[in-house]
Amino acid sequence: MKRRKYSDLVTSVLAYSILFGIATPLLALILDSLDHTFFTTAWLHFSDWKLFLNTVLFSLVAISVSVLIAVPSAYVLSTFPGYKGKLLGLVLIAPMMMPSYVYALLWQQVLQLLDLPSEGVWIAFFVEVLVRLPLLLMAALIGLASIPRPLLEAGQIFIHPVSYLFRVIFPLIRSYLFAGLSLSLLFSVNDYALPSVFMRHTYTLEIFARYSAVGKGGESFLYALPLIVLSALLVYILLRLVPKLSAGKQGNLGYTVAFTGPIGFDIYKIFAVAVTLLQFIVPVAAVFFLIIKSPVNLFTISDMQSLQFSLILSFLSILAVFPLAWFMAEYLYRSASSMIWMILLFLFALPSSMIGSGTILFWGWTGIDFVYGHWPLLLFGYIVKLFPLFTMLIYLSIKNSDSTLWNAALLYRHGPGLWLRVRLFLIWPGIVIAFLLGLSMTLSEIVLSLLLAPAGTTSIGIRIFNYLHYGAVDQVAYLICIVMLSALVWGGGLYLLLTGHKSGREEV
Amino acid sequence: MVVILFCLFLLGCKMTDPGKEVIVYTSVDQHYAEPVFKIFEEKTGIHVRASYDIEASKTTGLVNRLIAEKKNPKADIFWNGEPIQTMRLVSQGILCRYLPRKIPVSDWSDPEHYWHAFGGRIRVLLVNNSIKGRYPIPENLTELVKSEIPAKKIAVALPFFGTTATHAAMIWMHSGDKKSSELFNTLKEHGVLFLNGNSLVRDKVVSGDAWLGLTDSDDACAAISRGAPVSIYVLNQAPGDIGALVIPNTVALISGSPNPENGQKLIDFLLSRQSREYLAKEGWLQIIDHHVYHKGTTCPLPTDIHIQNIRLAHIMKAFEISQHALRELFFQ
């Protein structure tokens, strides 16, 4: 008993140490912000609140439209027999790996080619709907896979097809949709690069502009607080839905039954599928077209150095954050500490510019020269950025995994081997998703690289962004292609590695 | 474990002797700045480690980095393609005074020696040759607003960053808040194309999507040297007009930097005739010592340009007012 208490104490101390170590940029910002009187004046400015509400409302409406497209598309995909539907679904969610501003720019290029308007609120809305579609499609596909087939078939017997979609399908997968909606809204309100392509002003852009104008991390942190609070709330909602995501996990891994309805309904389904195909075909085709029509030797030595630097740093940051996040996720699964969740939520919602300035502030105070001004500073910045996301995804995976298998394994074996040879493979979905998202985030990250990369290095994200603004779209296409291929190769390799061992879940 | 160690080795293997290096943050395009740094390295044996900004932020990213690093600076010097952000650093206490002993400094430089101006680019109109003879070319921005050229065929960079922001600040300084706001409001209402940078303006005019664009002379000259069907017109050259706006480069020493002596050497080098002439021949600078530099260049700028008398010391206040007004005007 004493031994267990001692062990629990050590685990708690370690968990809080990791958390506070990673949260040091946030602490530095809070301390820095105590100097300012901005707090008393910021909240009185009406236009700031108006911009904040506009930003949130815009994203909410765009994502709601995406949901209305994603669900029927997911249903149609799930009617394909065998692995065709899954493969097609996987392909259609691939644009998730593309940075949102590159996606937006490719669409802008196509619109300009067709002599259509390529700026303004409505175009921004259109592209926002498309860019959030892959994540929602993935949520809907996973949701549909979790519904027992007999339940789906039964729902069709007595109900009109339109009602079947909105009164049976939607409610059954609503938890997954809400999870997808929360994540999409989180990414959308914090995205400033995509709106800037279409000249749309957002609260996040304003934070960046104010930071640029003021240059004080603490003051900008205070200004960013409404966004941070909203983001934290969204993540909290996402986590609250986890028990419901586990329900109905009997698993319907076969195909679902196709349903048809009145002509209007069929047109709606066809339209949804067409939009889903369009969000994939247009930008990917634009990438290949730009590559093909460009001269050879597009990839310069400088690009090679940037890619090497970015890939290595992404790889190292993911490797570094993974054990920390896994440890934290296991600790949260056992002890459910509200304080830790609160700090994690705030860290998750912190904009990159704040992480960067907080990191510089903190490491500047320490005066540790090996880190400050060198690549470990950027590595630390990436770890801070990735840690909350990794922790949450692994936590969700743990909650979703089969606890009876784990308990059975605990009876016969103990020690590190158990964790690496059993637990790791039980929670593989969260690891693979975290890895892919982490790779995508670090490779497309601009602000952190700008603020923290050591002199003499340029990350691939910055190169891509600069090429965009120099109008070298073909160079961008080439680099994006390589980035996406790298991510898919690594992600696919990890997937094969982890699913080469049985996860222990029987397919129904 | 082997892979991790290999990655660490790859990341660490570029370390140089700290005493033999200088760290520079610069907003100047990498393909102009890098060769200059290489010449400096060959001449002095001092290794240059440079950080470049992203095009979209137009210096702001690196300026914010300098401000964040204020208590423990990493950079030795800051080389900027325009003066406003450099002036911002003075007010933040980031820069320190340095007066080169053997190099004459420009009269555009800071009188208190916190930063030095050298060379410059001019704000010009780039015109697609297809409209020559069809429309009169405006001689200044007021004529641009009243021009017969369709507004959708006129391109201007957004006036929030870089040289266009400096140009806007100059307009505010000369014409006052009301007239300047009216000018930009009219441009916007007429439907003039506002783009994300001077290079995009150049590309639009070269492709013919726009017929006329307001941009920098380096972008304009680059287009002409590549054989594009465009011509350059310098603004404000009519008798009695204020003269062409020159945007000088600025360079400054960072206060408390790790290698101040090497930083001073690099500043001396950048201010030297050799460096300025090199940058002019490469097309980054068009003005040296208040005159158009033609030797070894192909840029068809007129030799006898009337240059505006710049009062850079007063520009910061005008910049703040102009930025506030323009943000209210432009963002929806």
Check whether A239 has a pLDDT greater than 80: no
H/E stretch holding A144: helix A121-146
Per-residue model confidence (pLDDT) at position A296: 52
Angle, vertex CA A284, rays to CA A283 and CA A288, nearest 5: 115
- The pTM of the full predicted model, rounded to 2 decimals, is 0.77
Check whether A44 has a pLDDT greater than 50: no
Q: Which residue has the higher pLDDT, A146 or B125?
A: B125
Check whether A505 has a pLDDT greater than 50: no
Which tokens in the block code for residue B104? 């004459």
Question: Cβ of B54 and A455 within 8 Å?
Answer: no
Q: Which of A41-45, A465-469, B269-273, B297-301 has the lowest mean pLDDT?
A: A41-45
Residues 159-188 of B with CB under 8 A from A: 160
Question: Cβ of A216 and B53 within 8 Å?
Answer: no
Q: Which residues of B touch A200 (CB under 8 A)?
A: 332
Q: Which residues of A touch B10 (CB under 8 A)?
A: 308, 312
Q: How large is the average pLDDT for residues A99-112?
A: 80
Q: How large is the average pLDDT for residues A18-46?
A: 68
Q: Which residues of B touch A312 (CB under 8 A)?
A: 7, 10-11
Residue A199's closest chain B neighbor by CA?
B331
Say whether residue B80 is in contact with chain A using an 8 A CB cutoff. no
Per-residue model confidence (pLDDT) at position B306: 85
Distance from CA of A50 to the nearest CA of B (A): 11
Q: Which amino acid is located at A35 in the chain? A: D
Q: How large is the average pLDDT for residues A451-456?
A: 85
Buried b (16+ CB within 10 A) or exposed e, A127-156: bbbbbbbbbbbbbbbbbbbbbebeebeebe
Q: Which residue reads 């059954």 in tokens?
A: A172
Report the residue from A313, A319, A365 with minimal CB separation from B4: A319
Q: Which residue has the higher pLDDT, A373 or B293?
A: B293
Report the residue from A121, A302, A469 with minimal CB separation from B332: A121
Distance from CA of A131 to the nearest CA of B (A): 21
Where residue A502 falls among pLDDT bands split at 50, 70, 90? Answer: very low
Say whether residue A368 is in contact with chain B using an 8 A CB cutoff. no
Indicate the DSSP class of residue A167: I
Taking each continuous run of H as one helix and of E as one strand, the counts in chain B are 11, 12
Distance from CA of B268 to the nearest CA of A (A): 21
A-B CB pairs within 8 A amount to: 114
Say whether residue A211 is in contact with chain B using an 8 A CB cutoff. yes
Question: Cβ of B68 and A217 within 8 Å?
Answer: yes
Check whether A62 has a pLDDT greater than 70: yes
Question: Cβ of A471 and B203 within 8 Å?
Answer: yes
Distance from CA of A80 to the nearest CA of B (A): 41
Q: Which residues of B touch A214 (CB under 8 A)?
A: none
Label residue B265 left, alpha or beta by phi (over 0 means left) and psi (-120 to 50 means alpha). Answer: alpha
Say whether residue A54 is in contact with chain B using an 8 A CB cutoff. no
Separation CA B153–CA B140 (nearest Å): 17
Separation CA A97–CA A103 (nearest Å): 10
Q: Beta strands of A306-456 (E only): which ranges?
A: none
What ipTM was predicted for this assembly?
Answer: 0.72
Where residue A450 falls among pLDDT bands split at 50, 70, 90? Answer: confident
Say whether residue B328 is in contact with chain A using an 8 A CB cutoff. no
Q: Which residues of B touch A319 (CB under 8 A)?
A: 4
Say whether residue A364 is in contact with chain B using an 8 A CB cutoff. yes
Distance from CA of A448 to the nearest CA of B (A): 10
Q: How large is the average pLDDT for residues A250-260?
A: 50
